[in-house]
Amino acid sequence: MTGSAATVLVVGGGTMGAGIAQNMAEIGVHAFVSETDPVTADAAQDRVADGLRRRFRAEADMDERVAEHLARCTITVGLPDIAPDLIVEAVPEITELKRSLLADLDRRYPDVPILASNTSSLSIDDLAAHLDRPSRFIGMHFFNPVPKSDLVELVVGADTADVTVAATVAWVERLDKTAIVVRDSPGFATSRLGVALGLEAIRMVEEGVASADDIDRGMVLGYKLPIGPLRLTDLVGLDVRLKIAEHLHATLGPRFEPPELLRTMVADGRLGKKTGEGFHTWP
């Protein structure tokens, strides 16, 4: 990291990439965002600008603040000719796409100290398969929306060097967030534990132990969780949760077997907030 002159290359300017770029611009870092073609590049530019407008909408000089921050975001089609201090890959969650892109990045930017992936579920060791320099590769799992979230889950592969972990923790602190460090394993720490609680809550509804409302209330009032596990499942999307549960079931065993009720609700299109109905009703 080189003080205020630091630059970050974010590859993929979708929901997460745009959020990461916005957050970097907010701390004075220049973010380059690489996209595949002019149409997706324009969409990425709009996403960053929208995020900044939301961020500064209460300020009288909103337009100036947005313009000042946008000046620190450069959207490119293809990979730019720069020497960034950090690379964060944020393309869709497809193993082969990420693997080949990461191998390209590894070759194209041999001197960058940290090559990170924002994968939310894929194995860091699997993604590192074609890298010549796996010691600088690490999982940097940001949460959505990035600028508002307080956590980054760092996922350490078998070959990730200690110096890479320490340098990535420093980046997280610079973003005014907290890092947790997790060994590469299915579901990392957050999804594994979050899904375990959600699945057990669903099994309790299935068995008629209590209503969804009462289960959520019990965890919020009794255990001080900010939101109940079933309401959270509705927000994430039952289909998304089912996919993660199936992955954890295949990798970690029968304790993650998706409950029948979850499968039925997904098949019926009751996916939670996005369809208006899940364990709760969303007007």
Ligand X SMILES: NC(=O)c1ccc[n+]([C@@H]2O[C@H](COP(=O)([O-])OP(=O)(O)OC[C@H]3O[C@@H](n4cnc5c(N)ncnc54)[C@H](O)[C@@H]3O)[C@@H](O)[C@H]2O)c1
Which residues of the shown chain bind ligand X in the complex (CB under 6 A)?
A: 11-17, 34-36, 40, 44, 90-93, 101, 118-120, 141-144
Q: How far is the CB of 82 from ligand X (least distance, A)?
A: 15
- Which is closer to ligand X, CB of 16 or CB of 31? 16
**C-alpha dihedral, 154 to 160 to 166 to 171, nearest 10°:** -50
CA count, 13 A, side-chain hemisphere, 44: 29
Q: How far is the CB of 168 from ligand X (least distance, A)?
A: 16
Q: How far is the CB of 229 from ligand X (least distance, A)?
A: 18
SS3 call for 81? coil
Q: How far is the CB of 56 from ligand X (least distance, A)?
A: 22
Q: How far is the CB of 10 from ligand X (least distance, A)?
A: 9
- Which is closer to ligand X, CB of 15 or CB of 74? 15
- Which is closer to ligand X, CB of 101 or CB of 199? 101
Whether the Cβ atoms of residue 186 and residue 248 lie closer than 8 Å to each other: yes
When CB distances to ligand X are compared, the closest residue is 14
- Which is closer to ligand X, CB of 34 or CB of 233? 34
Q: How far is the CB of 260 from ligand X (least distance, A)?
A: 27
- Which is closer to ligand X, CB of 143 or CB of 218? 143
The angle, 0 to 180 degrees and rounded to 10, between the axes of the packed helices 15-26 and 62-70 is 100
- Which is closer to ligand X, CB of 52 or CB of 75? 75
Whether the Cβ atoms of residue 125 and residue 46 lie closer than 8 Å to each other: no
Reported residue count of the chain is 283
Which among 205, 73, 64, 188 is positioned nearest to 138, based on CA atoms? 188
- Which is closer to ligand X, CB of 10 or CB of 204? 10
Q: How, if at all, do strands 86-89 and 178-183 pair?
A: unpaired
List Cβ neighbours of 30 (8 Å cut-off, separation of 6 or more). Answer: 5, 6, 7, 8, 24, 72, 73, 74
- Which is closer to ligand X, CB of 136 or CB of 141? 141
Instruction: List the beta bridge partners of residue 11.
Output: 34, 89
For 204, other C-beta atoms within 10 Å of its C-beta total 19
232-246 b/e (C-beta count within 10 Å ≥ 16 → b): bbbebbbbbbbebbe
